[in-house]
């Protein structure tokens, strides 16, 4: 496939550049008036229109992208898209001013989703998650991480992870699976935390390892959920089975989650709506990626993460959706990029890099995804005609994605 007359080819980073830290996020190379050649699902070559080689200029499978930009696909490194039902019944509670903790205490929240999921079949879960994933792909997402965590029993957590594996097998996008049984304590273990942790460690983990169902392990480390000590115990148990940590950290409070994450060599710490100088200092000397979820802040009405200070501290920032039925019922990465700019005061270049190359790095796939480079996978999207790159986040709520290309082929859903 040859794409010609591209207004701008966005995100051209050297293939060896796997993550962007601090000031590097502002550097978003764009080649104007460009062509791009795709072969065998990979980016074969690109350049300026004036230098297009004669031997490829007459290829039969050509697309003209006049007036349009080409972006690397969004890489969404934090989602919970396998769930049984939406939770709009909690929507009014939020409008009334009920807090996240109050809704959970009233039987809502994660336990509400767990009750519904335990009754759903694997096929039902797969079919609903597939619809969500297709919609995300059509909005420009070309790689995704999906967490379990609405099962909270051995059979239901395994069921979720098997659904994620089916999605992996049937969709043309890379998908990473994260085991998140430590999302909340089931009602029967409300006063027996160690009993549930033992269930995770002694029963769930061996079965997940036996079936090779997960890439990562995650814990919701927060007051009212899992303590720092409990988190450390679970992460160390996961490591024995080769599961690398990705932590829900500092969503509602500065909890010590960052320190336990870094001590366990976490790939990413996600949320960080609450942070302080200690948070930044702990992360400054680590390779851990800071994954920010602004649409969660938007929906819950909680503070937005301090992206500017994280960038100033030379940290690697990623953006992701947190798509889930309770706190972020949307998988639209375009809106996430807009919120990164509007609410977290990131420049468009920073937000786009955070949602592409650094999102890929948070899933350990940036060798092949997240930027435009020869030899990388041709997971891209072509925009509608736009006056500039900044127009994409500027026009929030409007999709500027026109054509989605995955593995070098146009994706129709």
Domain ranges (residues) in the chain? 2-73+370-411, 74-363
pLDDT of residue 337: 98
Residue range 2-73+370-411 in CATH 3.30.1490.390:
no
Do the Cβ atoms of 111 and 104 come closer than 8 Å?
yes
What is the per-residue pLDDT for 396? 96
Q: Residues 9, 47: contact at Cβ < 8 Å?
A: no
pLDDT for 108 equals: 81
Can you give the pLDDT at residue 60? Answer: 81
Residues in the chain predicted with pLDDT less than 70, given as ranges, are none
Q: Please state the residue numbers annotated as binding site for N-formimidoyl-L-glutamate.
A: 150, 324, 326
The pLDDT of residue 93 is 87
> Coil, helix or strand for 386?
coil
d(CA 342, CA 158): 39
Annotated binding-site residues read 78, 80, 87, 150, 183, 248, 251, 322, 324, 326-327
State the first-to-last Cα distance of the chain, in angstroms, to the nearest integer: 19
Annotated binding-site positions for Fe(3+):
78, 80, 248, 322
Question: Residue 164: how many CB atoms within 10 A of its CB?
Answer: 27
Residues in CB range of 184: below 8 A, 6 or more apart: 104, 109, 110, 111, 114, 149, 152, 220, 225
Phi-psi domain of 224 (left: phi exceeds 0; alpha: psi -120 through 50; beta: other): left
Q: What residues form the annotated binding site for Zn(2+)?
A: 78, 80, 248, 322
Express each pLDDT in 162-189 by its tens digit.
999 999 999 999 999 999 999 999 999 9
* pLDDT confidence of residue 101: 77
Coil vs helix vs strand at 319: strand
Rounded CA gap, 183 and 148, in Å? 9
The HSE-up count of residue 122 (CA atoms within 13 Å, CB side) is 13
Note the CATH number of domain 74-363.
Answer: 3.20.20.140
Dist CA 377 CA 73 (whole Å): 10
Residue stretches of the annotated binding site for 4-imidazolone-5-propanoate: 87, 150, 183, 251, 327
- Do the domains at 2-73+370-411 and 74-363 have one common CATH topology? no
């Amino acid at each position: 496939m040859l794409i010609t007359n591209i207004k701008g080819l966005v995100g051209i980073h050297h293939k060896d550049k796997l993550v962007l830290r601090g000031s590097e996020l502002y550097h978003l190379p764009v080649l104007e008036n460009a062509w791009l050649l795709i072969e065998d699902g990979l980016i074969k070559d690109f350049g300026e229109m004036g230098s297009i080689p004669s031997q490829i200029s007459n290829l039969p499978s050509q697309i003209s992208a006049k007036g349009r930009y080409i972006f690397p696909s969004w890489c969404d490194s934090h989602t919970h898209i396998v769930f049984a039902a939406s939770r709009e019944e909690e929507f009014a509670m939020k409008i009334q001013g009920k807090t996240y903790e109050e809704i959970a205490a009233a039987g809502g929240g994660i336990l509400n989703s767990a009750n519904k999921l335990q009754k759903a079949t694997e096929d039902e879960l797969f079919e609903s998650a597939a619809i969500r994933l297709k919609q995300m792909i059509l909005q420009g997402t070309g790689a995704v991480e999906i967490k379990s965590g609405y099962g909270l029993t051995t059979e239901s957590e395994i069921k979720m992870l098997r659904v994620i594996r089916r999605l992996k097998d049937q969709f043309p996008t890379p998908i990473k699976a994260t085991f998140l049984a430590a999302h909340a304590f089931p009602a029967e273990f409300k006063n027996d935390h160690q009993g549930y942790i033992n269930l995770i460690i002694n029963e769930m983990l061996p079965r997940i390892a036996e079936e090779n169902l997960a890439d990562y392990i995650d814990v919701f480390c927060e007051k009212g959920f899992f303590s720092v000590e409990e988190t450390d115990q679970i992460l160390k148990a996961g490591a024995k089975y080769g599961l690398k940590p990705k932590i829900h950290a500092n969503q509602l409070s500065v909890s010590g989650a960052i320190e336990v994450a870094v001590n366990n060599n976490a790939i990413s710490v996600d949320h960080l709506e609450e942070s302080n100088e200690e948070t930044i200092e702990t992360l400054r000397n680590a390779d851990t990626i800071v994954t920010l979820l602004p649409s969660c802040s938007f929906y819950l009405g909680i503070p937005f993460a301090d992206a500017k200070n994280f960038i100033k501290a030379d940290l690697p920032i990623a953006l992701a959706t947190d798509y889930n039925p309770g706190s972020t019922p949307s998988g639209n990465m375009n809106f996430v990029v807009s919120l990164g700019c509007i609410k977290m005061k990131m420049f468009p270049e920073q937000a786009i890099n955070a949602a592409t190359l650094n999102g890929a790095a948070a899933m350990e796939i940036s060798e092949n995804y997240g930027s435009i480079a020869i030899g990388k996978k041709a997971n891209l999207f072509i925009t509608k005609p736009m006056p500039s790159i900044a127009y994409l986040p500027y026009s929030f709520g409007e999709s500027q994605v026109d054509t989605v290309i995955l593995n070098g082929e146009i994706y129709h859903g």
